[in-house]
Structure 1
Amino acid sequence: MTGVNSIDIKAQVPKTCNMCEETIEVKYRCLECNFILCERCRRFHEKIKTVDFHHIINIKDDSASLTKLFHIPMFPCLLHKEENCVLYCLDCEETACTSCISIKHQKHTLENLKTYYLNKTSEIENGKERIEQSILPSLNRRQKRLEHLIIFHTQKYEKAKQKIYKWEKYMKESIANVLENQRVELIQRLDYNFTGTKETILPEISKLKTTKKDIEDILINIDTVMSCGDVKRVNDVRGSLQLQLVEVTSHTEKVRAKIGNFCEKEIGALPFLGEIKFKDIFQMKLVSCIQTKLTCIDKIISLESGIVLLRNLENNMIHKIKIDSTKNTFYEYEKFELDVKDISALNSGDIIFISPDKSDIRTITSKLIDFNHRKDFYDSTTFYQTHPQIPTAIHVSPDNNIIICTVEPSRESIPMDEPCHVEIYILTSSGKQISRFEFNRDLFCFPDKISSISEMICIADSISDYSSRVVTLNKSGEVKWIYGDTSTSVIISDMVHTPLRNLVILQVCQSKLQVLDPDGERLRILDLTNLNITHPYCLSIYNDNYILVGCGANDNNLHILEYIES
């Protein structure tokens, strides 16, 4: 089936049109019906009403599809050897020939074998294309981001560890210096006291030695006088003795000195090196600025494969682009007019939106856009109806569910700072209702933005003309936490969730981003004016770890922020 050249294809092109079965000149093919058509039948075929649109292309423009169409293998019927299978039974999940229908496939759902084969191979090709263009690049980006993240954490770990060692050395040196200074001071005090003690006691010792010698001399004289019989000498010795006795008797020891005793002091509270504080990481840096020449980007929708939809507020034009951040430029595929109040996109690429003051949710299929390039307007179809409630915000969750906020029709007659009747719908991508939460003038004033992740729904609620808050609900519609009040004076123009459930809020008047953790605690604030980003209006997560910021400035008005979170 592969490697077929153009001669083989041309040789196997059918001789007649699939509709009139007369005309040999076949030039077109309907992608939905797989019909080969002539010029006349093409016009009739386009008018046939079906569930989907007829996308008719020139055969010359679709040689790859043509190759596939005319190289379907022939399947001989097992029951009727002379016939080939031309049908596929959806009930029995097997091929069948025309003779098999009356035998074993009566009242079964049958489909043309070529059509079934082409549909299934087309699904495989679409899956392959999605893997090659979206899933694999996304996995590569995630792997690269995680590799950068482990390098980032390793560097932070080593830095913290070296800081501990350095601080330990500093603490040891500081404590050693303190103890050394205390030792010097204590010894100085001991030295001073001991010097004073010596200066008090030593003179007294010297004096006592002199007195003792004088008395000893008197004792010798007494022994001599007592045996000599000389009265004069007796009187002299007697006088010296009396004087010495008076002096000795009158001498009182006057020595007062304190002893220095060192008292050890037990260690009370041991000194701490410090403590380890673990905190969430959220860092952002500007990596690219793009001049789109749009006057005001107020809405951004990021699709798979790096495709982005930008809404220009001035003329309600939607621009489908692909960004080249390395060159600070982009390629525009197409643009079309669409007046929306809010807009989002399903995983299939289908656009889903709400119009001002309308109660219906509308959609435009990606297939319609892809096969009608450079068309200025596309017809939309009703996807869901919320009448009488008026939708104010729409959002597609990471698991491809649709969340819609609605207000009562009389909302304009209620003061802005008073609650109104709000209903929140959660739908599947096919429009089936999963949940519906009703708030009867007891919580919300005017919900105008939605973001969600996991089982958490965050709603930006305008509670006055100059203030907004974030009301976060769980999967049951119960309030989990509220961030902000009238005192904050913050107007929230947009918000997005990161993969780690951090909420990034855009404060339009202050030109700041606030980052909240999953519990509503503020992680950080980024002033966009420091990055030369002015008049920001909208945000979108782009390629897993980037945030697009759309602005109303006339110069660089599409900015790409890279964020690291952990």
Structure 2
Amino acid sequence: MAFSQSLHKSQIPINCHLCDIEKNIKWKCLECELLMCDNCKIKRHPRIKNSINHKVIDIKDIGLLSEELDFTNIKCRDHPGQTCCFFCKSCNSLVCPTCESKVHKKHDLIEIRDAYNIKKDKLKTGQRKIETNKDEVLTKKGHLEKLKNSEYAKYTRVMRNIKNQEESLKQAVEKHIEKIRNEVDQDRKTVMQSIDADLDTISRSMQQSDEKNTEIEDLINSTNSAKFFHEVGRIENSIDVPAPKTKSTYKSIPDFVPGEIYQSNVGVLQSKNSPLELSVSLNINKQYQTELSHVSDIIPCLYDKSIFMNSNLDAQLMRGNYVGNNLRISSLNIKVYGMALTDDNDILLATGKSRIQQLSTNTGKITDTVYDISPLISTTVHVTSNNKVIIGAVNSEVQYKVIVMNTKGEYETVYGHNHHNQPMFNYPQSITSTDNGNIHVVDYYPGSDRGRVTVLGQGGGIINTYTGHTEINKDIPFKPTRIVTTPRDNVIVADMDIHTLHILDNNGQLLTCYKTKEIGILCPFSLAFTQKGQLLIGCTRPKGSTTKEAKIYEVNISEC
């Protein structure tokens, strides 16, 4: 079929390979690789040596060739005289009877056709993955090109702002310099006027003194005694010349003290990462309706088609087995605050007690574990990729902690107070971890005004806090419920009040938000990923509702 499609598209006529005349090709010999017309198939092809054993097929069936491959005549590479009869799954190779008797006696042997189908399915899966990866790479390429253009535009804007600041600073400096120059000029005038006034006073006083001195000198040198006695009394009464009255201090021209130029006055560069904008899309694959008030937690099992869910409002823990598009439910009356899946496909339960319990998915029995946090009690539980157990805990004084334990139940790290001895948590509701070692805690006390996601580093402190989207949560505060790590090591947080998923990177920085209401998913509460990468969303009932019809959605999610 692939060949015929190619032939149709190219419109290039092909003659029969045997007569080289007839263009109406009907047959193909798989051994000779010859294309033939009806006449040559009947008359000429049989003349070829051993052609009686050749397989000739209709060209319309070329696309179906894989279904009719001959697996009965594959020669063994190790024993040329033998024909392969089985495929050894243990050794991943074809085997003949001799191979089987000598090497593969107790190995897992299957029919060659079955092995072929398994391998073919695996290759097709690989092809689909390649195509998916290619689409994702193309999408990422588009985002990177968009980011590159954005950064070029940002560069132009930043350089323009720097230039504008340069001009503004120049103008401001010139204006200020002109101002202080004028002030100095004015101060000079004032100071000089003050000094000149006193100099004038002194000059007049000196002139008076000179005149008085001359008058006295003339009287002393007078030879007219009558005139002397007639004038001497007047001169004696006015002989004192008052000292000139001048200021005791004078205003001085101010000195110029150069000011410091700081970065804050000129401007500084603030660096921040530009996370690649995600173009997340969600498509509903399946949906199920439960008889729960809400789905507090949801966990898909590793090795069978079943999920565990709980509703702490209804104090019920349920197991659902997929039957078509329905869930066959079995339930257990127990109040659970948090669940986590172990590598052994068992489920850890935080039941509000000091010791974490374990539910066997095989037997359904609940037993105690080594994870004991006495005298505290548990609020939630999480298992990391390296099998450490992280527990949300509270003590009798209503102080909340997050405790990291190893597989032996020994404490490794306890998060409770920061470096200023202030509490780090209000109520750890849900916990997840990422490959970079960070722990992400949904910190929200039920009924409070708002919540947050607190990101804990391996050093024992808080490295980031996410309090919601500035626009989306502007009118309705961020009240997170559950959190999960994605296959790409990002995290998704459910915000049920605004029907939104917040997607953060593994350091708690916002990447994007997705409004689930746009695809009909209301009040998302709990989250989990299946082994195949689908996202499970467990919902709750709207505020004020008393129904028990909480839904579970299985969605395909991309770019996350």
Letter aligned with residue 377 of structure 2: F
User: Which blocks of at least 5 consecutive residues in structure 2 are unaligned?
Assistant: 6-25, 31-60, 362-368, 512-560
Q: Is residue 2:443 matched to residue 1:478?
A: no
Distance change in 2, residues 1:515/1:159 (3 Å) = farther
Question: What displacement does 1:122 show?
Answer: 1.9
Structure 2 match to 1:200: 198
Question: What displacement does 1:420 show?
Answer: 1.5
Distance change in 2, residues 1:509/1:77 (3 Å) = same
Aligned residue among 298, 302, 305 for 1:343: 298
Instruction: Spell out, residue by residue over 1:466-525, the C-alpha distance to the aligned partner (whole angstroms, 9 max, x if none).
Output: x89562537675235248999999666656668885847385645855233344342434
Question: What displacement does 1:120 show?
Answer: 2.1
* SS of structure 2 residue aligned to 1:406: strand
* SS of structure 1 residue aligned to 2:128: helix
Letter aligned with residue 516 of structure 1: T
**CA distance in structure 1 between the aligned counterparts of 2:166 and 2:147, rounded to whole angstroms:** 28
Instruction: Spell out, residue by residue over 1:437-482, the C-alpha distance to the aligned partner (whole angstroms, 9 max, x if none).
Output: 62242443332x6485789866555779xx8956253767523524
**CA distance in structure 2 between the aligned counterparts of 1:138 and 1:211, rounded to whole angstroms:** 106
User: Which blocks of at least 5 consecutive residues in structure 1 are unaligned?
Assistant: 12-62, 227-232, 289-301, 317-338, 381-388, 428-435
* SS of structure 2 residue aligned to 1:76: coil
Distance change in 2, residues 1:278/1:311 (3 Å) = farther
Aligned residue among 61, 68, 71 for 1:70: 68
**CA distance in structure 2 between the aligned counterparts of 1:286 and 1:122, rounded to whole angstroms:** 30
Q: Is residue 2:249 matched to residue 1:258?
A: yes
8 Å contact kept, 1:538–1:549: yes
Pairing of 1:462-541 with structure 2 (within 5 A): 471=402, 473=404, 478-482=412-416, 503=440, 505=442, 507=444, 509=447, 512=450, 514-519=452-457, 520=462, 521-526=464-469, 530=474
Question: What displacement does 1:95 show?
Answer: 2.7
8 Å contact kept, 2:212–2:239: no
Task: Report the identity percentage.
Answer: 14
Instruction: Spell out, residue by residue over 1:186-205, the C-alpha distance to the aligned partner (whole angstroms, 9 max, x if none).
Output: 65455444433433341342
Structure 1 match to 2:348: 405
Structure 2 match to 1:446: 379
8 Å contact kept, 1:460–1:468: no
Question: What displacement does 1:115 show?
Answer: 2.1
Distance change in 2, residues 1:195/1:125 (3 Å) = same
8 Å contact kept, 1:80–1:99: yes
8 Å contact kept, 1:87–1:95: yes
Distance change in 2, residues 1:101/1:187 (3 Å) = closer
Letter aligned with residue 479 of structure 1: T
8 Å contact kept, 1:284–1:562: no
Distance change in 2, residues 1:68/1:77 (3 Å) = same
**CA distance in structure 2 between the aligned counterparts of 1:206 and 1:486, rounded to whole angstroms:** 80
* SS of structure 2 residue aligned to 1:273: helix
Letter aligned with residue 445 of structure 1: S
Instruction: Spell out, residue by residue over 1:93-118, the C-alpha distance to the aligned partner (whole angstroms, 9 max, x if none).
Output: 54333355446655555332222222
Aligned residue among 264, 280, 288 for 1:273: 264
Deviates further, 107-116 or 254-263 = 254-263
* TM-score relative to the length of structure 1: 0.53
Pairing of 1:119-158 with structure 2 (within 5 A): 119-133=118-132, 135-143=133-141
Pairing of 1:346-357 with structure 2 (within 5 A): 352-353=307-308
8 Å contact kept, 1:457–1:474: yes
Instruction: Spell out, residue by residue over 1:1-40, the C-alpha distance to the aligned partner (whole angstroms, 9 max, x if none).
Output: 96599x999x9xxxxxxxxxxxxxxxxxxxxxxxxxxxxx
Letter aligned with residue 442 of structure 2: I
Structure 2 match to 1:110: 109
Question: What displacement does 1:377 show?
Answer: 4.0
Distance change in 2, residues 1:565/1:79 (3 Å) = closer
Letter aligned with residue 446 of structure 1: T
8 Å contact kept, 2:394–2:400: yes
Letter aligned with residue 196 of structure 2: K
Question: What displacement does 1:315 show?
Answer: 5.8
Pairing of 1:154-553 with structure 2 (within 5 A): 184=182, 188-189=186-187, 191-213=189-211, 215-216=213-214, 226=223, 233-236=224-227, 239-240=230-231, 243-244=234-235, 247-262=238-253, 264=255, 266=257, 271-273=262-264, 312-314=289-291, 342-345=297-300, 352-353=307-308, 374-377=324-327, 393-395=338-340, 404-407=347-350, 420-422=354-356, 438-447=371-380, 450=382, 459-461=391-393, 471=402, 473=404, 478-482=412-416, 503=440, 505=442, 507=444, 509=447, 512=450, 514-519=452-457, 520=462, 521-526=464-469, 530=474, 547=492, 549=494, 551=496
* TM-score relative to the length of structure 2: 0.53
**CA distance in structure 2 between the aligned counterparts of 1:532 and 1:137, rounded to whole angstroms:** 36
* SS of structure 2 residue aligned to 1:445: strand
8 Å contact kept, 1:420–1:445: yes
Computed over aligned residues only, the root mean square deviation of the Cα atoms, in angstroms, reads: 6.1
Letter aligned with residue 342 of structure 1: D
Instruction: Spell out, residue by residue over 1:381-424, the C-alpha distance to the aligned partner (whole angstroms, 9 max, x if none).
Output: xxxxxxxx997644469xx99794335xxx6xxxx6xx521268
* SS of structure 1 residue aligned to 2:131: helix
Distance change in 2, residues 1:199/1:551 (3 Å) = closer
Instruction: Spell out, residue by residue over 1:134-184, the C-alpha distance to the aligned partner (whole angstroms, 9 max, x if none).
Output: x44444455555566666677777767766666676666666666665665
**CA distance in structure 2 between the aligned counterparts of 1:437 and 1:169, rounded to whole angstroms:** 69
Question: What displacement does 1:363 show?
Answer: 8.8
Instruction: Spell out, residue by residue over 1:524-562, the C-alpha distance to the aligned partner (whole angstroms, 9 max, x if none).
Output: 34486647799986566779679574748xxxx854556
